[in-house]
A and B are shown apart, each in its own frame.
Chain A
């Protein structure tokens, strides 16, 4: 079993829809959870950072962590064509080593 599982998609949604992405993991030591956004031919950029369980909101983006279920989610409200990218989840046990999901490609159709 891989440490982090992420459905690669792709996921196509109409503009204005809510995008829902998720990852599951197996290592109960993970405490830090991140979402990265990667545009084509660019490096991943940090989108959301969460410590332990709970929700975090930043504009149209909401990250949720459920450590009891080993499940994290990213929601994008009022999706825009500019949100078309690959989204990667990542997590760490606090040892400066990250485990990544394989990424989920999202296409927002105008």
Chain B
């Protein structure tokens, strides 16, 4: 298993509350990603980071923010959770310096339910 730890793994929260998901890696990979996976939509990129304090938006970034203050940690924040953000969230990492540097490795997922 790639050294990726997501927390919390399961969370139920109320509409309108802020939520932060944490991704921690022990691989020293440069790139980190947050995806959400929903039936009928597959994996969709929310935000990604290409270095400490360097982040960019993905295809479904509205309502989400991210921060990366250390190489190993990438935080995803839902500013004010909505029911449409009920999903499973995957953190992923990659490193262009690796022999398979154009592939990414996923964490185990965080299941979020917004009620």
Q: Which residues of A contact B109 (CB under 8 A)?
A: 41-43
How many interface residues does A have (CB within 8 Å)?
A: 22
Contact B102 A43 (CB under 8 A): no
Which residue on B lies nearest to A44, using beta carbons?
A: B106
CA distance A103 to B42 in the complex (A): 7
A49 cross-chain contacts in B, Cβ below 8 A: 100, 103
Q: Does B31 contact A (CB under 8 A)?
A: yes
- In the complex, per-residue mask of B62-88: 1 if CB is within 8 Å of any chain A CB, else 0: 000000000000000000000000000
Decide: B108 and A32 in contact? CB cutoff 8 A.
no
Min CB distance B66 to A, Å, is 16
Instruction: Check if A25 is an interface residue, CB within 8 A of chain B.
Output: no
Tell me the smallest distance from the CB of A96 to a CB of chain B, in Å: 5
List of A residues within 8 angstroms of B104 by Cβ: 96, 98
Chain A residues with CB below 8 A from B90, complex form:
43-44
Are A96 and B31 also in contact (CB < 8 A) when A41-B109, A46-B105, A49-B103 are? yes
Partner-B contacts on A (CB < 8 A): 31-32, 34, 36, 41-46, 49, 88, 90, 92, 94, 96-98, 100-103
